[in-house]
Structure 1
Amino acid sequence: MENQENIAKKWQICPECNGQGRVRQKIKRKKKLYYEKALEIYENTDQKGEKPIPPKSHLKICENCNASGIIPSENYPIPDTEHFPKIAIIGGGIGGVALAVACLHRGIPFTLYEKDESFNARMQGYGLTLQQANVAIKAFGIKKLKDGIVSTRHVVHNIEGKILGEWGKRKWLANNEKTATRRSNMHIARQSLRLELLQQLDEKNAVKWNHQLLDLKNLTDKTVELKFKINDEIKTTKADLVVGADGIRSTVRNFIIDEKLSPLRYLDCIVILGICPLKKNKTLKSELLDSETVFQTANGVERMYMMPYSSTEIMWQFSYPISEELALNLSREGSKALKNDVFERTKSWHSPISDIISGTPQENISGYPVYDRVVLNSDLFKKIGSVTLLGDAAHPMSPFKGQGANQALLDALSLAKIIYKNCKYKNWREDGIRTSVLNQFEKEMLERTAIKVKDSREAATILHSETVLIETNQPRGNILK
């Protein structure tokens, strides 16, 4: 699975854009003169009326780094403990590792802690769809995702197999539509993306595995004390900033935010996931299994979604409304009960659905109730000291818009950029890391993700209703807009 092209590269901040990926254009002389003249008139008329607003320069892509914010380097940047805060990242999933990588490129000192004993300690085998983050991935030093698969066709069926909608590059190109130039979605196994991010780290910054966070508290000097359990030992350490990137049931979040203020919210449905190998199942022959097609089938209540997982596997996601109690019970019964449930519900559906369910190894199946949370208020963050959250720890959302991993990656990149920009040339210790960095980061993060949480929640309803059966060549989530 190693991607030598990505491993061989070391990176550092682009000096032209200071790691931001964009630079400001020069303000045109004509605009400057117009402003200066308007200001002179304003000052000479006893400052009556509205004061002229200075012209702003527009941002453009940095050509030196091609918008990535980083350039190749012979060595890893030396951690700059003089100018930057020491960061403790809790959680070695996508968001946590991405933040570590972005900090490494910028010389921001960090330690990455993960409670699991190793990379493969838990089953984390589901697939991701990279949308906005497909473009941003190069900002983490990854030129090309080795195991990424681009989908060129998306189809929606009813259970008899009638096509209700179709879109994607293949259809657009066939019809000579202008939309054929739109960005493509990339599909990749979660562990494949996580590994490629981990491979960007050097040995000195490798993950601290088997570190279970027991406690954290803000100290009077604005640092944070952390207590970990490692096997049977207790370890205490300090950091200038703690970032919780430890998922929907975040331990960090539980320490700093009362669960009653933003509890888990059940979305009235269960999701069952499976990964089916195609080569071993020679009877599986269908144009839908060409490793470039995403298709979904629905009956107005239940919904099956299938996407390429690798060049030889397909991932399926089956969901339907159910009470929380029954969803929890079914999940606890395990993969055999989950597989039987899906098979019985879809055995009369169009080909090749039942064959794919039958051909999915039991150990490749998991299921869980679907939750999100009400979006946090930025004022609430201001009361939690030198601690913040990103990814699912901050804004968990349903999987039905495929935005979870995308937003975690964008969160990580945003935080690293703000730390670099606001701490490199200013004394952040005087005002504290919250005033210098966190208030800005959290405001940007919450504004960006609030609509994603909302849309993902609405999708949980739309995709299990008659709306999904409307005949239209567009994503189901766009129908009501």
Structure 2
Amino acid sequence: MKKVNNAEASWTFCPECQGRGKKSRGLSMKARRQYKIALDQFEKTKGEGTAPVHPKGHLYTCLNCNGSGLLPSASHPIADKENFPHVAIIGGGIGGVALAVACLHRGIPFTLYERDINFEARSQGYGLTLQQASKAIEGLGIFSLEKGVISTRHMVHTTDGKVIGEWGIRKWMQTDEKTYTKRTNVHIARQSLRLALLEQLGGHDAVQWGHQLINFAASDGEGVDMTFEVNGAIQRSNADLVVGADGIRSSVRRLLIGDDSTPLRYLGCIVILGICPLSALEGMNSSLLDSATVFQTANGNERIYIMPYTSDSVMWQLSFPMTEKEAKALSAQGPQALKEEACRRTQWHDPIPQILAATLEAKISGYPVYDRELLQSELLEKGGKVTLLGDAAHPMSPFKGQGANQALLDALMLARGISKGCNSSSQWRKAGIRESVLTVFESEMLERSASKVKDSAAAAQFLHSEIVLHEGDEPRGRCLNKKDQ
């Protein structure tokens, strides 16, 4: 990534591509002719069969903004309250703040509500891996991540330390250098990324903290009326569009479609997380702790995954099968019990026992793993001027590292959709925000994320089975995909 001071930079959308990062070359004469022939044939049959789909022009990267959709600016654009809808974003996590940032860059008015009383109120301190979103965050004005760590090697071991899989740029290029021009995964603390996004908004004051959503309903006038509890008192507000970005236990989702239609689905395992500073591992000299290696060890039941958290610390994630009742009980016992259980189950090769032993209880958490069945577009259609994104729309297990990635992509796609569908000539107020923006957004979001939800649920099973011990220089589970082909 280019080194840019995100906190000091202001951005505005690129007029060449209208902030989308890509431009269309338009349709060739051949494509136009073929579509017209197909359409004429369909009309001659009086609508029998399937109507031809209008072809789309080939997209190419906008050279004016280098694909980010943004250009440097002396200041952010002034919110266009006359033409754009006012967006109420419920939830100040990664997805919600990302949507606010994407709206800011496009002059879309918004208000960001968060139930926590401040940034530090609730632990969101575990790490995440930017995969597809490592490029997409440039569309959010983040062109450098000072606290991001790039991994160049991924290794899989049996419990005695035997290597049964290795991949990554370092393997393929047979070099020990840590800097590459090719695309790589970026590991970063969730709070560090969240803070980088908040800096785009001008800091913590851009969030309406301590706002717990109680209810919402279609306004007698226009938009949606919302009711919040704030410091024990009731406050009301109104917006043209409400976006639930409030996580797997989303209040917006519950109020919109209820919990009964798509309840939480327990995936049969518990996750215990910890963060350990490398300085706590005195005398431990291991190539696995070079701040550029991700490694995992498994035995067909327990599985631990360890990745760089910062340049001088690692995050570990231990998971294993357990009944839902047992998982809830263990989680409720707190960090000490979680640490004892983790240590008991992982007397494996170095440096795993040492890492877990050196991890402070204050840096340990654990929870049963849930997702939900895939959401169908029909359930959202009745939402009118309300929609969902991120874990509120498509929660998934953490085993494919896709939750934050998909939330970031959702946020950018929705803001771009609003910018395109609600411009001054769109007459979106007459057509409605759902027809102008939400129907297409939800369809594309759910289609894109569906495979991630399925793969993440499958990973919750095969990572705790003999399949994980398959020998091969490839991510675990890829052998299953080969069998299906």
Give the TM-score band, short-chain normalised: over 0.9
Which SS does the other structure have where 2:138 is aligned? helix
Q: Which amino acid aligns with 1:242?
A: V
Contact 2:69 2:139 survives alignment (8 Å): yes
Q: List per-residue Cα deviations over 1:40-94 (Å, max 9, x = no partner).
A: 9999xx9799999987531110000011111111111111111111110000000
Q: List per-residue Cα deviations over 1:87-126 (Å, max 9, x = no partner).
A: 1000000000000000000000000001111111111110
- The 3 A distance-change label for structure 1 pair 163 and 472 is same
Output the CA distance in 2 between the equivalents of 1:238 and 1:195.
27
Output the CA distance in 2 between the equivalents of 1:354 and 1:42.
66
Q: List per-residue Cα deviations over 1:362-421 (Å, max 9, x = no partner).
A: 100000000000011101111122111100011100000000000000000000000000
- What is the 5 A alignment of 1:11-160? 11-27=11-27, 31=30, 35=33, 56-160=56-160
Q: Which amino acid aligns with 1:422?
A: G
- The 3 A distance-change label for structure 1 pair 333 and 83 is same
Which SS does the other structure have where 2:226 is aligned? strand
- What is the 5 A alignment of 1:242-257? 242-257=242-257
Which SS does the other structure have where 1:108 is aligned? coil
Give 2:408's aligned residue: 409
Give 2:389's aligned residue: 390
- The 3 A distance-change label for structure 1 pair 204 and 269 is closer
Which SS does the other structure have where 2:291 is aligned? coil
Give 2:283's aligned residue: 283
Contact 2:38 2:52 survives alignment (8 Å): no
Q: Which amino acid aligns with 2:98?
A: A
Q: List per-residue Cα deviations over 1:288-311 (Å, max 9, x = no partner).
A: 000000000000011010000001
Q: List per-residue Cα deviations over 1:131-160 (Å, max 9, x = no partner).
A: 000011100001111111110000000000
Which SS does the other structure have where 1:479 is aligned? helix
Q: List per-residue Cα deviations over 1:190-243 (Å, max 9, x = no partner).
A: 000000000000369701111111211123445111111211321111111100
- The 3 A distance-change label for structure 1 pair 335 and 226 is same
Give 1:363's aligned residue: 362
The TM-score, its normalising length taken from structure 1, stands at 0.93
Output the CA distance in 2 between the equivalents of 1:299 and 1:203.
45
- More deviation, 134-143/425-434: 425-434
Which SS does the other structure have where 2:228 is aligned? strand
Structure 1: segments with no counterpart, 5+ residues: none
Which SS does the other structure have where 2:187 is aligned? strand
Structure 2: segments with no counterpart, 5+ residues: none
Alignment RMSD (CA, Å): 2.5
Contact 2:4 2:143 survives alignment (8 Å): no
The TM-score, its normalising length taken from structure 2, stands at 0.92
Q: Which amino acid aligns with 1:456?
A: S
Q: Could you tell me how far 1:284 is from its partner in structure 2?
A: 2.5
Give 1:190's aligned residue: 190
Aligned residues: 470
Give 2:466's aligned residue: 466
- The 3 A distance-change label for structure 1 pair 41 and 412 is closer
Contact 2:275 2:315 survives alignment (8 Å): yes
Give 2:327's aligned residue: 327
Output the CA distance in 2 between the equivalents of 1:450 and 1:371.
16
Contact 1:270 1:368 survives alignment (8 Å): yes
Output the CA distance in 2 between the equivalents of 1:26 and 1:420.
20
Is residue 298 from structure 1 mapped to residue 301 from structure 2 by the alignment?
Answer: no
- The 3 A distance-change label for structure 1 pair 84 and 160 is same
Is residue 308 from structure 1 mapped to residue 308 from structure 2 by the alignment?
Answer: yes
Output the CA distance in 1 between the equivalents of 2:335 and 2:55.
61
Q: Could you tell me how far 1:437 is from its partner in structure 2?
A: 1.0
Contact 2:119 2:204 survives alignment (8 Å): no
Output the CA distance in 2 between the equivalents of 1:181 and 1:5.
20
Output the CA distance in 1 between the equivalents of 2:147 and 2:377.
37
Output the CA distance in 2 between the equivalents of 1:407 and 1:48.
42
Structure 1 segments of 4 or more deviating over 2 A?
26-29, 38-43, 46-57, 180-183, 202-205, 219-222
Which SS does the other structure have where 2:75 is aligned? coil
Output the CA distance in 2 between the equivalents of 1:41 and 1:27.
15
Contact 2:13 2:70 survives alignment (8 Å): yes
Output the CA distance in 2 between the equivalents of 1:200 and 1:288.
35
- The 3 A distance-change label for structure 1 pair 262 and 28 is closer
- The 3 A distance-change label for structure 1 pair 351 and 42 is closer
Output the CA distance in 2 between the equivalents of 1:266 and 1:422.
38
Q: Which amino acid aligns with 1:279?
A: S
Give 1:376's aligned residue: 375
Q: Could you tell me how far 1:26 is from its partner in structure 2?
A: 4.9
- The 3 A distance-change label for structure 1 pair 243 and 337 is same
Output the CA distance in 1 between the equivalents of 2:360 and 2:54.
64
Percent of aligned positions that are identical: 57
Contact 2:399 2:456 survives alignment (8 Å): yes
Contact 2:88 2:110 survives alignment (8 Å): yes
Give 2:317's aligned residue: 317
Q: Which amino acid aligns with 1:109?
A: P
Output the CA distance in 2 between the equivalents of 1:52 and 1:121.
53
Output the CA distance in 2 between the equivalents of 1:212 and 1:285.
48
